[in-house]
Amino acid sequence: MTEPLGEEQTVWEGESLNIAARVSNGRLTRHYRLTTRHLHYETGGLVSSQEKVLLTEITDVRVTQGLRDRTRNTGTVRVDYKRPSGAWDMAMLDTVEDPARVRELINEMARRARAAAPPEEKASEGPSRRSPSPARRSPAPAPASQDPQHKVSSAINNTDKLVELLNQLGALRQAGILSDEEFEAKKKQLLDRL
């Protein structure tokens, strides 16, 4: 039996615990919030924007953790979703505390939202779309070479990520963590990716 969602309520709030957030005294901290209907997240570095995703659009939630992340119980939560326009997108919740719990909360709230949604709002692939198991995951979207909209979206996302990384590098240089030479070398590496 599904509980009615009722009024939108906050289920979880978190923020990025990455190095840029720490060395900038919180100026580069990203904030995240999960409600009974949406996932709210911030993108960008010095210039940030706020996004929100309907929980019924979420298709997959994954956690990645490096060795350092595991020792601090932090990690990145990647949320894949399909916009109403049909375009695929993702939200990255960078370096959050207890990422496995966050993944489970997002999956549970997405399941509840899909169960309570009118038929026209329900995700077409159903609950198995959000399974972290590759064997149960739905087929991948069409390759980028076949979808021009995806190419443009990917290019914009890559450019946004590059700008974000450059902003973070600048913050590290201003904080005295990187020397001017180290900053220039890393900046050149990033720009060479274009």
At 149 the three-state DSSP class reads helix
pLDDT attached to residue 25: 64
Task: Please report how the helices 148-174 and 180-192 are oriented relative to each other, as an axis angle in degrees rounded to 10.
Answer: 180
- Whether the pTM exceeds 0.95: the reply is no
DSSP class of 62 = E
The pLDDT assigned to 97 comes to 94
Containing 125, the helix (H) or strand (E) segment is none
Going residue by residue through the chain (194 aa), what tens digit of pLDDT does each one get?
344 456 889 999 998 887 665 665 656 678 899 999 999 987 766 566 788 999 999 999 999 998 888 999 999 999 999 988 889 999 989 889 999 999 999 999 999 999 988 776 554 444 334 434 333 344 444 444 455 444 444 444 566 677 777 778 787 778 787 788 888 888 888 777 66
b/e per residue 86-98 (b: at least 16 CB within 10 A): eebbebbbbbbee
Question: What is the pLDDT at residue 49?
Answer: 78
Per-residue pLDDT at 137: 41
CATH class of the structural domain 1-141: mainly beta
> What's the pLDDT score for residue 41?
87
Name every residue whose Cβ is closer than 8 Å to that of residue 45 and which is 6 or more positions away in sequence. 20, 28, 163, 164, 165, 166, 167, 168, 171
Domain boundaries, the chain: 1-141, 143-194
Reading phi first (left if > 0) and then psi (alpha if -120 to 50, else beta), residue 92 is in: beta
pLDDT for the residue 57: 95
